[in-house]
Amino acid sequence: MVLFPNAKINLGLYIVNRRNDGFHDIETVFYPIPSLTDILEIVPAKDSANELTFTQTGITVDGPLESNLCVKAYHLLKEYTSLPHVKIHLHKLIPMGAGLGGGSADGAFALKALNQLAANPIGHQQLLEIALKLGSDCPFFIENKPTFATGRGEVMQPIEIDLSHYHVVLVNPKIHVNTGKAYSQSTPKPAATNLMQLSKLSIDTWKESVSNDFEEVVFPLHPEIEAIKTELYRLGAVYAAMSGSGSTVFGLFTQLPTQVSFPDNYFVHKG
pLDDT in tens, 98-137: 999 999 999 999 999 999 999 999 999 999 999 999 998 9
Query: From CA 214, how far away is CA 229, in angstroms rounded?
Result: 13
Question: Strand, helix or coil at 128?
Answer: helix
Query: From CA 127, how far away is CA 104, in angstroms rounded?
Result: 14
Residue 216 clears pLDDT 80, i.e. is over it: yes
Instruction: Give per-residue pLDDT as tens, 66-97.
Output: 889 999 999 999 999 999 999 999 999 999 88
Model confidence at 25, in pLDDT bands (50, 70, 90)?
A: very high
**Which pLDDT score is estimated for 63?**
80
Sign of CA dihedral 20, 77, 80, 66: negative
Residue 180 clears pLDDT 90, i.e. is over it: no
Average pLDDT over residues 251-269: 76
* Sheet architecture: strand order including 39-44: 2-3, 39-44, 86-92, 52-58
User: Active site residue: 38, 92, 106, 137, which one?
Assistant: 137
**Domains, the chain:** 2-158 (3.30.230.10), 167-270 (3.30.70.890)
Residue 271 clears pLDDT 70, i.e. is over it: no
Quick check: 259 and 173 in contact, CB under 8 A?
Answer: no
Average pLDDT over residues 23-42: 95
Residue 40 clears pLDDT 70, i.e. is over it: yes
Query: What stretches of the chain show up as alpha helix (H) in DSSP?
Result: 69-78, 102-117, 124-134, 138-143, 179-184, 206-209, 214-221, 223-234
Query: From CA 140, how far away is CA 145, in angstroms rounded?
Result: 8
Q: Higher-confidence residue: 260 or 220?
A: 220
Beta-carbon contacts of 248 under 8 Å, excluding residues fewer than 6 positions away, are: 9, 95, 98, 99, 100, 170, 171, 172, 242, 267
Quick check: 86 and 45 in contact, CB under 8 A?
Answer: yes
Model confidence at 62, in pLDDT bands (50, 70, 90)?
A: confident
Q: What is the mean pLDDT of the chain?
A: 92
Residue 264 clears pLDDT 70, i.e. is over it: no
Residue 261 clears pLDDT 70, i.e. is over it: no
Instruction: Return contacts of 128-132, CB within 8 angstroms, 24+ apart.
Output: 128/154, 130/76, 130/77, 130/80, 131/107
**Which pLDDT score is estimated for 178?**
83
Told to judge if 8 belongs to the known catalytic residues of this protein, a careful annotator would answer yes
> Phi and psi of 63, rounded to 5°?
100, 165
**Which pLDDT score is estimated for 256?**
82
User: Active site residue: 8, 72, 112, 229, which one?
Assistant: 8
Average pLDDT over residues 145-164: 94
Query: DSSP label at 248?
Result: -
**Which pLDDT score is estimated for 266?**
66
Residue 260 clears pLDDT 80, i.e. is over it: no
Average pLDDT over residues 188-195: 95
Helix, strand and coil percent figures for the chain, each rounded to 5:
30, 30, 40
Question: Strand, helix or coil at 264?
Answer: coil
Residue 28 clears pLDDT 90, i.e. is over it: yes
**Which pLDDT score is estimated for 236?**
92
**Which pLDDT score is estimated for 257?**
78
Quick check: 81 and 118 in contact, CB under 8 A?
Answer: yes
Beta-carbon contacts of 75 under 8 Å, excluding residues fewer than 6 positions away, are: 52
CB neighbours of residue 179 within 10 Å: 16
**Which pLDDT score is estimated for 265?**
59
Query: From CA 232, how far away is CA 242, in angstroms rounded?
Result: 11
pTM: 0.92
